[in-house]
Chain A
Amino acid sequence: GESVGLHLPTLSVQEGDNSIINCAYSNSASDYFIWYKQESGKGPQFIIDIRSNMDKRQGQRVTVLLNKTVKHLSLQIAATQPGDSAVYFCAENTGQSGAGSYQLTFGKGTKLSVIP
């Protein structure tokens, strides 16, 4: 939507194909990661999360992969549908978990366009 960056990376996929959205995170100490979906004119919506002690987590039609060695996160969407068209944000918790503080830092986002 018009609320996000003009220079967002854009991924165009054919309906029914699989989508892979990538994200590089910044802090090697981050222990929790989330993917959010933001449709035009709406707030971000939680999709799936993963803790740093995991490499992979699956949800309904979505899979998140975490590679801590290279600080990379990916979101895979199976059988992409027109309703998946949105901006997708990865977010990392860079706060000090033990101290109870919180700092969820969002990436700039990737715009996914699904071609019918």
Chain B
Amino acid sequence: DAGVIQSPRHEVTEMGQEVTLRCKPISGHDYLFWYRQTMMRGLELLIYFNNNVPIDDSGMPEDRFSAKMPNASFSTLKIQPSEPRDSAVYFCASSDTNPNTGELFFGEGSRLTVL
């Protein structure tokens, strides 16, 4: 079975440019999560969705970040404008159970470098 699919795997962009990261969760999973991983801060939850509805976006660092889930099989994380401090690996994960008790399935990540 296909796991969580993220694209692009790598992106290098210049400060001020718009970045869009994409995620396809595992079919049938009701929960979708966006995490960011950096050397300094480790893995941080940015936002999560349940049945395509954003439930908690308190981890989104600032208004430059936005996330959408237009349908059950697709989500985007957008950064506009991007800044060098946004450089990180961004992970999407999905779950088919109550996330308080269930396993998260992570994608391979999108490595973003902002110059």
Q: Chain A residues in contact with chain B, CB under 8 A?
A: 3-6, 31-32, 34, 41-46, 49, 51, 89, 93, 95, 97, 100-109
Cβ-defined contact, B43 with A44, below 8 A: yes
Q: Is B71 an interface residue (CB 8 A)?
A: no
Whole-angstrom CA separation of A44 from B89 in the bound complex = 12
In angstroms, how far is the closest chain A Cβ from the Cβ of B12? Answer: 15
Assembly CA distance A90 to B22 (angstroms): 27
By a CB distance below 8 angstroms, the chain A residues around B45 are 103-105
Counting chain B residues whose Cβ lies within 8 A of the other chain, the interface size class is 20 to 34
97-115 of chain B: CB within 8 A of chain A: 98-101, 103-109, 111
Judge whether B100 and A97 touch: CB under 8 Å.
yes
Q: Are A3 and B37 in contact (CB-based, < 8 A)?
A: yes
A39 vs B43: C-alpha distance when bound (angstroms): 14
